[in-house]
Each structure stands twice: as C-alpha cells, then as structure tokens.
Amino acid sequence: MSDRSNRFDSSVTLGVTLAADLLLFPIIFAVLDAPLMSRAVSLVVAYALSQILRLGIGRGISPRALLQVPGLWPLLAVTVLINFGLFVILNARAPDIRPILHLLLAWAGSLLFLSFGSSRIKRLR
C-alpha cells in the first residue's frame, strides 16, 4: 500500500477517534458522573470504534502493522498518555470549567505532540 494511502488511513482513523470521543464523552459523563473514569472509558471505546470501522470497510493496514514502523508505537502510547494526563491536570486545576473544554484542550495538546513526533519519525527514515 502506498504512503499516501497509509496517510489517508491514519487521518481517517484519527478523525473518527476524535469525533467519537467528543460525542461519547458527554454521554458517558452524564451516566457515570465521574470525569476521569468517563474520560478513560470514552477514549477506549472511541479507539475501538475507529478500529472496527476501519477494518469493517476494508481499508488500510491492520492494527498490528503499527509495530512494524519504528518509533510509531511508542509515539502513539505517549500521545495517549499526554492526552489523558492533560485532561486530568486540567480537571484537577479548574474543576469549575466544563469537562468538555478540558477534553478539547487535551486533544489539541496531544495532536500537537503527535504531529511533531510524526514529523521527526519521517525525518529520521
């Protein structure tokens, strides 16, 4: 598969994960009424939904192919930790602000880290 197709596949997966997370978090937060647990559940469910959708339409590489690209798996793991960590820090420091704003800011920070890290990986190849 070409590099352009892989890039498109990664963009679609990231977009679906982000959209699903933004849609699922308020619903799960209304049910659980615990922001940190709601965040963890919505992130896992959103990622699982994006992988099921991506594999269901028959596009792209398998999730195991992430292990074959040097540096990509650790980058994604650190990005998820940054995303969750930013949400936790923002929620602890400013609990009076709506958690959806914390979620948006956490995604913005983690996407900046992901774009910087992926550019470094491409440069080193």
Per-residue pLDDT of the chain (125 residues; tens, 9 = 90+): 456 666 777 788 888 899 999 999 999 999 999 999 999 999 999 999 988 887 777 665 666 666 677 888 899 899 999 999 999 999 999 999 999 999 999 999 999 999 999 888 888 77
**Are the C-beta atoms of residues 90 and 105 closer than 8 Å to each other?**
yes
Burial group, residue 103, by CB count within 10 angstroms (0-12, 13-18, 19+):
buried
Say how many domains are in the chain. Answer: 1
Cα–Cα dist 109/18, whole Å = 13
pLDDT on residue 103: 96
**Are the C-beta atoms of residues 9 and 54 closer than 8 Å to each other?**
yes
Domain holding 70, by residue range, is 3-124
**Are the C-beta atoms of residues 16 and 53 closer than 8 Å to each other?**
yes
Cα–Cα dist 102/86, whole Å = 8
Q: Which pTM was predicted?
A: 0.85
